Amino acid sequence: MSRKYFGTDGIRGTVGHAPITPDFVLRLAHAVGRVLRRSEARPTVLIGKDTRISGYMLESALESGFNSAGVDVVLLGPLPTPGVAYLTRAQRASLGVVISASHNPFADNGIKFFSAQGTKLSDAWESEVETVLEEAPVWVNSDSLGKARRLDDAAGRYIEFCKSTFANDLTLRGVKIVVDAAHGAAYHLAPMIFHELGAEVVAIGCAPDGLNINHEVGATHPQALVKAVKSSGAQFGIALDGDADRLQLVDAEGRLFNGDEILYLMVKERLSHGRSDTCNCAEESVPGVVGTLMTNMAVEIALRERGVELVRAKVGDRYVLEELEKRGWVLGGEGSGHLLALDKHTTGDGIISALQVLQACLRSGQTLSELLAEVTLFPQVLINVRLGPDQDWQTSTQLAATTRSVEQELGSQGRVLIRASGTEPLVRVMVEARSAEQAQSCAERIAETLR
């Protein structure tokens, strides 16, 4: 069943335009509250947000909608998305709600939900909410209205949780780190976490004004981090996005490492630590890893050489999570920096992922570049081809023949991925190869058959 409002990660759009308007958000919360009350007499919902100016308005609308359905609300204030997921589970709440548009500019906002277990909710649950949304509201009587209160130490609880995922026998004393919170939800706690673990912290992107979230800072604009690392002489740079579930890393030389490389490093650290402490075989430590259709082939090859299988899911951390849960694995992620370590948290967490990397460097005594010496990312070339009216690219014999020819040329040293855009009449042609020139040439040959 197709959904009208929910996308791959909640409901998102430009504030003041449907569906991100206060009247719709009130109706949405009322509908969610009615769904919750089908299985629980008096549900409790946690609400967190990032630093967008529209968060105040949408928070009030959510609070009113839930209360009108007989649902109690606990307001967390500005808190990373993974922090809301954690506290929903820790507080035994019925549901967690995040007001955030992640890495989007400040004019956008969104609503996403976590289950009582701190996990993303199913398509079936979202479809049920959309069905109730189409019904007339059912306001509860005054004596059944929900109440609202604030959890004043929400940030402190999440700080302690993040610190608990870092090895007790390690310290960041003597390590200088630049922390860029993208003027987002982690602005007040990310620098504190690394400082309390012993690091000398240089904070940038930690002065939100409601309008500057993700503006020329953070994981989507890592140039600011590179510059700050070089100028301050730091050993590491850590960049989060607006809701702090995404991570990018920079080393002392200013080299940027993406999510694919970080995922490999996390696997490598688990294998090394597992062999020395618990077992003597890679398979027992990390049986497999989930990436996406866009995960760089160099990582797949490096994992295979260590006896670790890489399974590719559709693009989106939601699909990575589904595949991990299906297989009972714990590590997965995307090149964008959404990384999952399900033995540490139920959802992707930029801060916890960064702590896992720092732990790997401290235990090994090596730099990021040294730890990733065996992984040289393949150049990726992506060409978007706009389709003509009624153009059926999937039945093109010329496209199929050219694709087969390119795949034969690349052999085991490259990869072709052709997929349709989910929002525009475009076909995306991606080619990976050992050299940028070969990748460009092969991608152009395939794209030309569609033009």
What is the set of active-site residues? Answer: 102
The closest of 203, 201, 235 to 218, measured between CA atoms, is 203
